[in-house]
Structure 1
Amino acid sequence: MTALVHDAAAAPSMHNAQPWRFRYLRRSRTIELRADFERVMPHSDPDTRGLHLGCGAALLNLRVAVAHEGWCPETRLLPDLSDRALLAGVRLTGSGSRESDLGALYPAIHRRHSSRSPFEETVIPEAVRGALADAARLEGAMLTFPTSWHLQEVLELVRQGEARNITDRGSDQDLAQWTRAGTPSAHTTDDGVPDYAFGPRKRGGKAPVRDFAGSRQVAGRDSADFERTPQLALVSTLYDRPEDWLRAGQALERVLLLATIEGLSSSFATQPLEWTDLRWPLRDPVSGTGYTQMIIRLGYGPQGPGAPRRPVSQVLDIQP
C-alpha cells in the first residue's frame, strides 16, 4: 500500500498543493481517495475544480500502479454522495485486468515533471497527437490541439488571466502560500513549488509559462527565449460536474504519462481557467460545446526537476 500511494502521489496538482489523502480498508481490499480540503485555494480554485483535477490525476496514477502489480483496479467515482470528501474507491480484484494496458504507462510516473524551460520548435507528429487524443478519450474526456486563430485566442486569454492574477490580491495570496523562494526551507519543503522549479524568466516568445516568482527576485535565476509557436492541448469534458473534473484529471495524467514515454515535456497554463469569464471562450469554436478543464503546453525539451512530495505517512491511513 505504501508503494502504491507513493506512485499515486507523484501526480501533478495546482501549485503542487497535493490535495489528497488515501485510506486503505483491509477487509474490502479497497483504497479510498479522499479530498484534503485544507489544501484548497480559496481565490484561485473556489469551486474546488482544480482540487478534483489533481485528485483525478492521482487516481489515474494509482490505477496504473495497481495494474502494474498485476491487479485489476475496480474503480468507482463518488461512491457515497453523502461524504463530500470521498472522491473515489479502488478495489483490488484478481489478475487479468481489462485495464492491463495501463501498466505500460508505469515507467513514466516518476519521470513526469512539469518543465518551465523553453521547448524546441519541433512539431509534434500527427501520430503522436492522435495517440494522446485517444488516451484522453479512454478516460471520458477530449484532447484537442488549437491552431491558427483559435491558438492565438487561447494565448490571449492566458495573457489576460496572467495580467489579472498579478493585480488580484487573492491570487497573490494563493501564490505566496504555495511557492517557496528565497528562504532556507525552499529546498526542504514537501509541498508547493520551490524556486528551483520556477524555470527561467521569460525574455521573449509566446509560450504560456506562469512565472511563480511573481515580483520576487530569485538569486541566480536566468532569463531565456521561449517558443515562438507554442504547441498547446486542451483537455475538455461535455459536462462540468465534480465527476467530470475527476475524469478530466485522469485523462490529463494519462496524456502526460504517454507524452513522457513519447519523449515530450509538459507544463500547464491555468491562468484563464481561474476566471469564469475567461474559461468559457476557451472551448472548441467548431462544436461550441464542452468545458475546458486544462491547458497543456507540450514540446521537446528538458523534463524539468522533480517537485517535492509529502511523505506517504502523512497521506495514507490503513484501517481494518
Structure 2
Amino acid sequence: MKTGVMPVGHLSESQMRSVLLAATAPPPLRRGRPWRFQCTPDAVELYADSLSTGTDSDQRERMLDCGAALLNLRLAIKAQSSHADTRLFPTADRPDLLAVVRPNGYETIAPVDRELVAAIAGRQSNRRPFTAAVVPDAVRRQLRRAAEVERAWLATITDDQVPQLRDIMHRTELPPATPGPGGGSDLDIEPGRLVVVIGSLHDTALGRLQAGQALQRVLLTAAAAGLSAALSSQVMAVPAARRELRQLLGGGLWPQVMLRLGHGTAVASPTQTQLEDVVISDEHPFGR
C-alpha cells in the first residue's frame, strides 16, 4: 500500500498535492465522491467504488462523476507542464481500476486548457432561475467541441423539441431534483433557453466514463465563458423516459446527462475536499 500523496514521475510531492486538490473538486451529480486516487512512483490510479451495486442510474451517475474527476486530474497535470498519458480500463480483471494517468515528459499547456484549470475551483451547479439572455453561437460551438474532444457528443434541444421533452419529464412521475437557493427545477426549460444533452456512442462503462470527461469539459468551458449550469438527472433515472429522450434526439446515440446553461446569479463556492478523504493510504484504505 502506498502512503497518500507522494512524488509521481517527475512531479514533486507539492506538485502532486496541487494536482490532487484540483482533481477532487465536487463532482457534478452526486454528493459523495465515488472514486479514490492512489499514487504510485510513476502514475496516479483512479478507482471507483462498487460499480456492480445500485440501479443502472446509480451506476451511470457514479461513472460520470468518476469521468469528471479524471478530466480534472488530466488538466491539473497539464497545468504542471507535464503530458498526462492516460489509459482507460487498463486491466481487464480489475473493473474498479478505471484509469492510470502517468505524468510523462513535458508539455506546454494550451491557453484554453489553462482557462479550464482556473475554472475548476469555482465551478458549482446553479439551480437558480436563469435570465433570458441568449448564449452566443460562438460559445455554443465551443461547448459542442468540448464534448467532441472527449469522444462524446453534445446535442442541443431545439425549440420544437421542448414540448416533447417537457412531456417526457412530466411522465417520469418523479419529484424534481431538490432546488438550490432561489428555486428552479428540472422542468425549468423554455423555448429560447439553452438545454443540451451529453451522450455516448455506446451505453457501456467506457462510454459513460468518456461522457463524464466530456461533461466536465463542457461544464468548465461554460464556467470559463461566464455561464451557469444546472444538471438534470430526472429523465435519465427512468429507463423508459431515457429511451424516449434517445428517440427524440434521433435514436442513434445514448443520452447520459442533460444540462441547462445560461446566465444566472452567483452561488456560493463549493467546499474544498480533504485529500485524505479521496487519496488511498495506509491510514485511509479504500475497500474494493
Q: SS of the residue aligned with 1:164?
A: coil
The runs of 5 or more residues in structure 1 that have no matched partner are 167-174, 180-196, 210-225
Matched letter for residue 45 of structure 2: E
The runs of 5 or more residues in structure 2 that have no matched partner are 1-15, 283-288
Consecutive aligned runs of 4 or more in structure 1 exceeding 6 Å deviation: none
Matched letter for residue 17 of structure 2: T
- The answer to whether structure 1 residue 22 and structure 2 residue 34 are counterparts is no
Matched letter for residue 33 of structure 1: L
Match of 1:233 among 196, 213, 219: 196
Q: Following the alignment from structure 1 to structure 2, what is the Cα–Cα distance between the partners of residues 21 and 94?
A: 24
Q: Following the alignment from structure 1 to structure 2, what is the Cα–Cα distance between the partners of residues 297 and 94?
A: 38
Matched letter for residue 183 of structure 2: R
Matched letter for residue 97 of structure 2: L
- The answer to whether structure 1 residue 113 and structure 2 residue 124 are counterparts is yes
Give the deviation of 1:104 after TM superposition. 3.4
Partner of 1:71: 82
After superposing the two structures, state which structure 1 stretch, 256-265 or 230-239, moved more.
230-239
Q: SS of the residue aligned with 1:108?
A: helix
Give the deviation of 1:11 after TM superposition. 4.2
Partner of 2:54: 42
Q: Following the alignment from structure 1 to structure 2, what is the Cα–Cα distance between the partners of residues 246 and 307?
A: 23
Q: CA RMSD in A?
A: 2.6
Match of 2:182 among 172, 188, 200: 200
Partner of 1:170: none
Superposition map of 1:3-22 within 5 A: 3-22=18-37
Matched letter for residue 198 of structure 1: G
Say whether the 8 Å CA contact 2:36–2:278 is kept in structure 1.
Answer: yes
Give the deviation of 1:44 after TM superposition. 7.3
- The answer to whether structure 1 residue 164 and structure 2 residue 179 are counterparts is no
Partner of 2:103: 92
Give the deviation of 1:15 after TM superposition. 3.0
Partner of 1:185: none
Give the deviation of 1:310 after TM superposition. 3.6
Say whether the 8 Å CA contact 2:28–2:231 is kept in structure 1.
Answer: no
Partner of 1:55: 66
Q: Following the alignment from structure 1 to structure 2, what is the Cα–Cα distance between the partners of residues 283 and 241?
A: 15
Residues 58 and 286 from structure 1, CA distance in 2 versus in 1: closer, same or farther, beyond 3 angstroms? Answer: closer
Say whether the 8 Å CA contact 1:30–1:92 is kept in structure 2.
Answer: yes
Deviations 1:80-107 (A, max 9, x none): 1211211111001111268785333111
Say whether the 8 Å CA contact 1:11–1:57 is kept in structure 2.
Answer: no
Deviations 1:91-139 (A, max 9, x none): 0111126878533311100121000111111111111101110111010
Partner of 1:214: none
Matched letter for residue 210 of structure 2: R
Say whether the 8 Å CA contact 1:160–1:272 is kept in structure 2.
Answer: no
Say whether the 8 Å CA contact 1:265–1:300 is kept in structure 2.
Answer: yes
Q: Following the alignment from structure 1 to structure 2, what is the Cα–Cα distance between the partners of residues 5 and 98?
A: 17
Say whether the 8 Å CA contact 1:21–1:315 is kept in structure 2.
Answer: yes
Say whether the 8 Å CA contact 1:72–1:99 is kept in structure 2.
Answer: no
- The answer to whether structure 1 residue 288 and structure 2 residue 251 are counterparts is yes
Deviations 1:61-86 (A, max 9, x none): 11111101111100111111211211
Q: SS of the residue aligned with 2:117?
A: helix
Say whether the 8 Å CA contact 1:114–1:303 is kept in structure 2.
Answer: no
Give the deviation of 1:208 after TM superposition. 2.2
Partner of 1:186: none
Match of 2:138 among 127, 130, 134: 127
Give the deviation of 1:41 after TM superposition. 7.9
Q: SS of the residue aligned with 1:45?
A: helix
Q: SS of the residue aligned with 1:14?
A: coil
Per the normalisation by structure 2, the TM-score is 0.84
Give the deviation of 1:311 after TM superposition. 1.2
Give the deviation of 1:43 after TM superposition. 4.7
Say whether the 8 Å CA contact 1:60–1:250 is kept in structure 2.
Answer: yes
Partner of 2:152: 141
Give the deviation of 1:282 after TM superposition. 1.3
Give the deviation of 1:201 after TM superposition. 3.4
Partner of 2:206: 243
Deviations 1:203-229 (A, max 9, x none): xxxx626xxxxxxxxxxxxxxxx6644
Identity of aligned residues (%): 31
